[in-house]
Amino acid sequence: MKFEHEIEIFIRDYVKDLNEGTASIFAGAGLSIPAGFVNWSDLMQEIAHDLGLVIDRENDLVSLAQFHVNENRTRSKINRKIIEEFTETAEETLNHNIIARLPISSVWTTNYDNLIEQAFSKENKVADVKHTNKQLLTNRPKRDIVVYKMHGDANHSSEAILTKEDYEQYHQTHEPFIHALSGELTTKTFLFIGFSFTDPNLDYVLSRLNFRFSKDKKQHYCLIKKHSLNDAQNPDQATLDYNTRKQQLVINDLKRYGIKSLILDDYAQITSILEEIENRYKKKTIFISGSAEIYDPYEKNEALGFIHLLSKKIIEKNFRIVNGFGWGIGSSVINGSLEAISANPLKFSESQLILKPFPQFESGKKKLPELWEEYRQKMISLSGISIFLFGNKRDGAEIVEANGVIREFEISRDLGNICIPIGCTGYATESILKLILTNPSDYYENSDVVVPLLKTLLDSDIPLSKKVDVVISVINEVIQ
């Protein structure tokens, strides 16, 4: 998918931060509204009515909450509204799910709902939720992600940050959160999602960010939808002109905090951007599929040497490898990868090799074929590129195509992986390549460049050792 120049640069740089483990997300109310939760205006509508005010004429909703507390000397009704609106069961959105799949170690949010935690749970990730100062002092064992709910949690509404007084005292009552956020903002690249210029949280959050590095501050990004005529906020041209001018002033002001605004035509672009980020990140992970009872038309040592060298080169090109320890293939993948890692441990890491040996016996009520299917789905979902080798097995006295390799191709195709069959290794891999060549444009955006390289990989007269660089060339072409 084509993006505007600034967004394209952001995606490229943010994926680099993901690969380096230095990316984070800051989620605002706009992330949860599509799931059915209310925005601030809806939340405060009844409160405004109680005060004899009209919500549509009020911009400072934080002060509105404070007025209600001043008048009633209690915030019990506001607390009840938070519980009513944000504790109901709701399904997380596609944006939540994509965020949960990204390799980030922390998420910050001003939202009260639990959709973010829910999304991580569905991805089998352990979320360590922090919404009080005391929770910052302890860590949940085996956590995968830290969710900082800096304005509180709907299940503890009496402690939620909501009134003007809450925000005014935040730097004292929640000083540890400010320090934690300041630390992450100086070491990680943040993507702000779901903030609008009418969100009362935004100004308060930014006013508490203490950047002390002047021109050396970290670059962060915010996705902002531009105003358009006849939307909810712009019923006429004069209002549009005013809001557009104000939006530009706020965008310029965000630069003081190192936050670069990326302007969107509509909210659907957020999902497209997140999907592209996920796809590009996954393309740095390569699934190697294959099994070999025999290595015809090659000698065993030549074939194993090729797999070893290919795996080594993939690691040296800073890709990650996922492998299910396929019969006759897995050991060479491991050895080649570890050779690259051990030769330069300061540059390469064992985290670049992800091994997922298949279950060998049934577990619980699930039959082995069902376990294998689930395992294949999870394993391949970690990657964006699938390489196929050989693909044969023994069936009695005969050598036949390995149906497991065929299945891994089908899963790869369904998940949108880019498939690279090394056709000269024959059997299932050759069948996969022949299928792809019947309509290559269905598999590659730049098929006119990739197909000649695949045909080179099909030629068994070319020594295997000379095909390693061809495979790397195919990888370089498909990740562009």
Smallest Cα–Cα separation from 424: which of 306, 293, 301?
306
Task: Residue 265: count other Cβ atoms within 10 Å of its Cβ.
Answer: 10
Q: What is the CA radius of gyration of the chain?
A: 27
Greatest pairwise CA separation for the chain in angstroms? 88
197-207 CB burial, b ≥16 within 10 A, e <16: bebbbbebbee
User: In this structure, what are the phi and psi dihedrals at residue 81, rounded to the nearest 5 degrees?
Assistant: -65, -40
158 burial (CB, 10 Å; 0-12 / 13-18 / 19+) is exposed
- In whole angstroms, what is the distance from residue 240 CA to residue 320 CA? 48
Helix (H) or strand (E) holding 470: helix 468-478
Task: Tell me how far apart the alpha carbons of residues 71 and 184 are, in angstroms, rounded to a whole number.
Answer: 39
Whose CA is closest to 137, among 166, 180, 183, 173?
Answer: 180
Amino acid of residue 5:
H
Cα–Cα distance between 147 and 372 in angstroms, integer? 33
**Residue 77 vs residues 43, 84, 161, 287: alpha-carbon distances, Å:** 11, 10, 14, 54
Contact present, 337 and 312 (Cβ < 8 Å): yes
Q: Catalytic: 151?
A: yes
- Dist. CA 429–CA 408, nearest whole Å: 11
**CA-CA distances (angstroms) from residue 435 to 177, 296, 400, 441, 470?**
55, 21, 18, 12, 20
Torsion of CA 228, 230, 235, 239, to 10 degrees: 20
- 3-class secondary-structure state, position 140: coil
How far, in Å, CA of 21 to CA of 169, rounded? 33
Catalytic residue among 68, 151, 220, 308: 151
The residues pairing with 145 across neighbouring beta strands, listed in sequence order, are 127
Catalytic residues: 151
